[in-house]
Structure 1
């Protein structure tokens, strides 16, 4: 993989930045504790794995059926990453917290993945721009699909355990943290194009 540093940077940044999964997990564990939120976290994992498998099939199908779409998918992926960077730079601490509903069931975590645009775009972008251009075997793509799922869940689980710590840190140093994360995403987008 030519862009392994960019792939890992993109995957980890996407997994650990605020999003519906991370905010919901943090909110639930702060209200109900980790033990009562395990069902939600398990639902997020199973749903995330399901969506990543669907994203893998979609990306492979597009690349195999329409090989000329690969350059377009690369530019779309780079544009999405740049949009994420812009969104991170202009975000304010706690602005997403009001959108989180109280829920702590497996089914809530599972079904959230199918409407979680961040996760769907994360999967399609990671697979179509970092994986399918370099790998075509079922086992390679399956391994990377599992890897990006585990990274995504690691971010969610980390937010669940250390939510209050991260919330305080992001609030205190939000401008610096946002700029650093945005610059890392810009680096990912540039490495895709060059």
Structure 2
């Protein structure tokens, strides 16, 4: 395969992984529906920072170790699934006036936490680096360049989910409970698919 074809494959892989539903995209959509674009964008800044943190951690791991220890991946998967389930619960839990946890607005910190526990992003980065970049070069600059580009594609796709939420907001106002239930179920399904491989082994 030529370099151009490999890079096109990498970009397409990152786009498909970035645009498909996952914890960050579903959370961004739900945040926009519930709080509006302004607060969703505040959370999005944390998603960007988290994506870059995971991307560069993946570059470091691939460059120094070559592969992630399976035990680390299992713990990260369980932590990520637990956080995604907590997000799902907060979407459908009855509002409790006076409790800061239930009144908390989305922040960059909550976006960052979501992204660094998002196993989908870790798998995306490691797979992209090992499948598309390493066959061309194992030079640190090549890995770092990929580490810079992958988040750009991913957070661009996430931004599309935020704007989709903005377009669907009036529908959400009329059907809030059903939409919250569907979004919570989708997040729970994400969590289940995250831990399913651990249960099968």
Q: TM-score, normalised by structure 1?
A: 0.62
Aligned twin of 2:186: none
- 1:153 and 1:100 map into 2 onto residues whose CA distance is 25
SS at match of 1:3: helix
SS at match of 1:113: helix
Gap change, CA 1:30 and 1:100, over 3 Å in 2: farther
Aligned twin of 1:137: 139
Displacement after TM superposition at 1:159 (Å) = 0.5
- Once superposed, what is the RMSD of the aligned Cα atoms? 2.7
Aligned twin of 1:38: 41
User: What does the per-residue CA deviation read over 1:2-28, in whole Å, with 9 as the maximum and x for residues that have no partner?
Assistant: 523322221100000000111111111
Aligned twin of 2:123: 121
1:163 aligns with 2:165: yes
- 1:159 and 1:101 map into 2 onto residues whose CA distance is 20
Displacement after TM superposition at 1:52 (Å) = 0.5
Q: Judge conservation of contact 2:37–2:166 (CA < 8 Å) in 1.
A: no
Gaps of 5+ in 2: 68-84, 92-104, 172-201
Please say which structure displays the higher CA radius of gyration: 2
1:145-184 matched pairs, under 5 angstroms: 145-163=147-165
User: What does the per-residue CA deviation read over 1:129-148, in whole Å, with 9 as the maximum and x for residues that have no partner?
Assistant: 11122123333222211110
Displacement after TM superposition at 1:164 (Å) = 6.4
- 2:166 and 2:89 map into 1 onto residues whose CA distance is 15
Aligned twin of 2:108: 106
Displacement after TM superposition at 1:100 (Å) = 6.9
- 1:129 and 1:62 map into 2 onto residues whose CA distance is 16
Runs of 4+ in 1 over 2 A off after TM superposition: 1-6, 98-103, 135-140, 163-166
- 1:8 and 1:100 map into 2 onto residues whose CA distance is 34
Aligned twin of 2:19: 16
- Paired residues in the alignment total 137
Gaps of 5+ in 1: 67-95, 169-194
